[in-house]
Amino acid sequence: MVAGDFDTIVQKVTQLLKEQGFGVLTQIGIQQTLKEKLDVDFKKYKILGACNPAFAYKALQAEDKIGTMLPCNIIVQ
């Protein structure tokens, strides 16, 4: 667990992923999405879709259906 400002933590996680060769391809803001679609309040919750191209390529060569699990999801809440 990491404590701090939510947006700062998202930036820090993104940077740490980058340092390990992962890029963040998508960000889904669950709090905003649920408010817009269902008009419900929810805690700050973001899904980061991260991918390391070399790892993804290697995994896809071994099993082409692994694409259902790409990109890798990381949550910040």
Per-residue model confidence as pLDDT tens digits over 26-69: 999 999 999 999 999 999 999 999 999 999 999 999 999 999 99
pLDDT surpassing 80 at residue 1: no
Give the pLDDT band (50/70/90) at residue 7.
Answer: very high
Domains and CATH numbers, the chain: 6-76 (3.30.310.70)
Report whether 46 contacts 30 (CB < 8 A). yes
What confidence tier does 2 reach under pLDDT thresholds 50, 70, 90?
A: confident
Residue 61 vs residues 26, 30, 41, 47: alpha-carbon distances, Å: 23, 32, 42, 26
| Residue from 48, 45, 15, 17 nearest 32 by CA | 45
Is residue 10 very low, low, confident or very high in pLDDT (cuts 50, 70, 90)?
very high
Sign for the CA dihedral angle at 35, 40, 45, 49 comes to negative
